[in-house]
């Protein structure tokens, strides 16, 4: 679910400009525009690429596993590096970190556009994800420090949040139009002028202060290894077989890296993931819910991008337009959710949102190549409502469950788990689509695999719904 959450890092989530000694920008609105553009472009790149996947497959001949890695290489690096990107923004200063992140993302976008093969594209997507992980917290930190007045700052952050949600609507349509008219490479080339505009705006923004923030390199490396190993095992398990040597080795690497991560965090004087947070019941439940909600949303987005084009024979533009109503529901529900939480209580909203999203997964199970398109759009309504209803209340619940000085760490951890949920669902759906039997067309798209993935995701959401109802405190 692409609803924005406060990014990781103490500057991004907890500190105010008055507390950090930040100098005001020459125009705070320049910082806001730069932050909005950065958040928008890293969001659009996810949804736009989903629409371009069939064309990427036809050009680079990557197969289903290759398509999964095109999506997950970006998401996994985004998820893993998000844990320490906030600390980097503190150490380097928000503006400098933002320049680094935007620069890296832009160069990687050029590499994506020029990729001669699927392996080169996957590698460039991983570098893109690393840049996006820096852009996310640094953009929010830049906006926060640009506005001294709390009310103006709140409005600016609200615009930043809504801009991210609106980008979900723009992404599929833009991806479809660009893919149809100029080819899939233009989806990445579009990032170059946007990156140039952001860097030009940042040249007119005052420097940000630096603060001591220790980096947890051992924890960061083991987190990347654990997530990459798990993703490889799930993606390749559907192609090589779950008992194959590479898949079993990847599972072993993931488990070993997980233990090493736990040991590193236990020993580090300033761990990026304080283990004590994970032992707090409201925090643990919020992280599980965030994982499940994003698994549902990103899994369905990946699935439908292929469904519309491979099973229904729709053009990229047509497939992109099919996502517009979904994104409209997301944006509108984001605005309603906080008021609903005030009236009904956060726990009720979190539980209700998940239940709606779980219902959406099961409602999509009967989809076939002959399902009327109007019915597909109707069945997608709960997908747009559920996650967007739950996530704002979930974020507020999490931040109220931790001390103020831990707010940045907790929100960064939630962001990371949500991205991980999305990556794991893409890995699972792709493995099932390719290996679930009943293949359709040259791509081996499996209707039975699609149905199985939806049932698994729906069951996961039912489990986290029950956890939230049982374990979250009453308002």
DSSP per-residue string spanning 356-389 = HHHHHHHHTTT--TTS-HHHHHHHHHHHHHHHHH
Percent of the chain with pLDDT over 70: 89
| Residue 125: pLDDT over 90 | yes
pLDDT at position 141: 76
Distance CA 9, CA 88 (A): 8
Using CA atoms, how far apart are residues 234 and 229, in angstroms rounded to an integer?
Answer: 9
Q: Which residues of 160-183 are buried (b: 16+ CB within 10 A; e: fewer)?
A: bbbbbbbbbbbbbbbbbbbbbeee
Return d(Cα 108, Cα 128) in angstroms, integer: 5
pLDDT confidence of residue 325: 85
pTM: 0.82
Give 301's DSSP letter: H
Q: For 56-68, give the DSSP string.
A: HHHHH--HHHHHH
Q: Where is 86: in which H helix or E strand?
A: helix 63-92
Q: What is the pLDDT of residues 447-463, one digit of tens each?
A: 888 899 999 999 999 99
- Higher-pLDDT residue of 66, 62: 66
Distance CA 72, CA 298 (A): 11
Per-residue pLDDT, 217: 86
Residue ranges of domains in the chain: 10-207+272-471, 220-271
Segment among 51-65, 204-218, 262-276, 282-296 with least mean pLDDT: 204-218
* 60, pLDDT greater than 70: yes
329-364 tens-digit pLDDT = 887 887 788 888 889 988 999 999 999 999 999 999
Contact 137, 84 (CB under 8 A): no
Is 318 a residue whose pLDDT tops 70? yes
Higher pLDDT, 148 or 262: 262
pLDDT for position 435? 63
pLDDT score recorded for residue 432: 85
Residue 440 pairs with which residues in a beta bridge? 445
Mean predicted confidence (pLDDT) in 67-83: 88
pLDDT average, residue stretch 385-401? 84
More confident residue, 368 or 8: 368
How many CB atoms are located within 10 Å of the residue 263 CB?
A: 13
Q: What is the CATH number of domain 10-207+272-471?
A: 1.20.1250.20
For residue 68, CA distances in Å to 58, 135, 231, 425 come to 14, 23, 10, 10
Confidence of residue 131 (pLDDT cuts 50, 70, 90): very high
pLDDT at 436: 54
Which helix or strand (DSSP H or E) is residue 328 part of?
A: helix 324-344
Cα distances from 76 to residues 21, 54, 331, 422, in angstroms, run 34, 21, 25, 9
Q: What percent of the chain has pLDDT over 90?
A: 34
Query: What integer pLDDT is reported at residue 289 of this predicted model?
Result: 95
CA end-to-end distance (rounded Å), the chain: 24
Q: What is the mean predicted confidence (pLDDT) over 442-447?
A: 62
Dihedral of the alpha carbons of 210, 412, 236, 463, in degrees to the nearest 10 = 180
Distance, in Å, from the CA atom of 304 to the CA atom of 361, rounded to the nearest integer, reads: 12
Determine the 3-state secondary structure of 445 from DSSP.
Answer: strand
Residue 449 CB-density burial (10 A; 0-12 exposed, 13-18 middle, 19+ buried): buried
Write the DSSP symbol of residue 473. Answer: P
Angle ∠(425,410,210) on CA atoms, nearest 5:
115
Integer Rg of the chain from CA: 21
Distances in Å between the alpha carbon of 358 and those of 191, 345, 457?
A: 35, 20, 8
Find tokens 């965090």 and name the residue.
265
Comparing 20 with 298, the larger pLDDT belongs to 298
Distance CA 132, CA 205 (A): 20
- Rounded (10°) CA dihedral 60, 62, 64, 65: -140
């Amino acid at each position: 679910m692409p609803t924005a959450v406060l990014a990781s890092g103490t500057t991004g989530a907890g500190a105010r400009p008055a507390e950090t000694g930040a100098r005001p920008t020459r125009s705070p609105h320049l910082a806001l525009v730069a932050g909005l553009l950065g958040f928008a472009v890293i969001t659009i790149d996810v949804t736009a690429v989903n629409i371009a996947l069939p064309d990427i497959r036809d050009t680079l001949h990557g197969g289903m596993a290759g398509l999964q890695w095109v999506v997950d290489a970006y998401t996994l690096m985004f998820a893993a590096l998000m844990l320490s990107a906030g600390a980097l923004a503190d150490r380097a200063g928000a503006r400098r970190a933002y320049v680094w992140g935007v620069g890296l993302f832009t160069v990687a976008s050029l590499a994506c556009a020029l990729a001669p093969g699927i392996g080169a594209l996957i590698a460039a997507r991983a570098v893109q994800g690393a840049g996006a992980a820096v852009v996310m917290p640094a953009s929010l930190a830049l906006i926060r420090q640009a506005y001294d007045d709390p009310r103006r700052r709140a409005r600016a952050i609200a615009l930043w949040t809504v801009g991210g949600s609106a980008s979900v609507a723009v992404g599929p349509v833009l991806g479809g139009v660009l893919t149809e008219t100029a080819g899939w490479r233009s989806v990445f080339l579009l990032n170059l002028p946007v990156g140039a505009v952001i860097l030009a705006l940042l040249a007119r923004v005052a420097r940000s202060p630096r603060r001591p923030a220790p980096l947890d390199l051992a924890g960061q490396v083991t987190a990347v290894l654990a997530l990459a190993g798990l993703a490889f095992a799930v993606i390749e398990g559907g192609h090589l077989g779950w008992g194959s040597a590479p898949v079993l080795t990847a599972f072993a690497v993931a488990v070993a890296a997980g233990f090493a991560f736990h040991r590193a965090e236990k020993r580090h004087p300033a761990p990026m993931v304080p283990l004590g947070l994970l032992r707090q019941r409201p925090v643990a439940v919020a992280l599980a819910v965030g994982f499940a909600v994003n698994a549902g949303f990103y899994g369905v987005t990946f699935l439908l991008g292929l469904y519309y084009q491979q099973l229904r024979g729709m053009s990229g533009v047509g497939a992109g337009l099919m996502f517009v109503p979904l994104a409209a529901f997301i944006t509108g529900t984001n605005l309603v959710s906080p008021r609903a939480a005030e009236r009904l209580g956060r726990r009720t909203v979190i539980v209700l949102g998940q239940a709606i999203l779980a219902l959406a997964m099961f409602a999509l199970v009967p989809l076939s190549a002959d399902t009327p398109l109007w019915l597909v759009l109707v069945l997608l309504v709960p997908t747009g409502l559920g996650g967007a209803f739950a996530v704002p209340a979930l974020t507020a619940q999490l931040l109220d469950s931790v001390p103020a000085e831990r707010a940045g760490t907790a929100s960064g951890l939630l962001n990371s788990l949500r991205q991980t949920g999305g990556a794991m669902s893409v890995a699972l759906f792709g493995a099932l689509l390719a290996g679930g039997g009943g293949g359709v067309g040259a791509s081996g798209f499996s209707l039975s695999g699609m149905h199985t993935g939806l049932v698994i995701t729906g069951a996961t959401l039912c489990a986290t719904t029950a956890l939230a109802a049982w374990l979250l405190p009453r308002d």
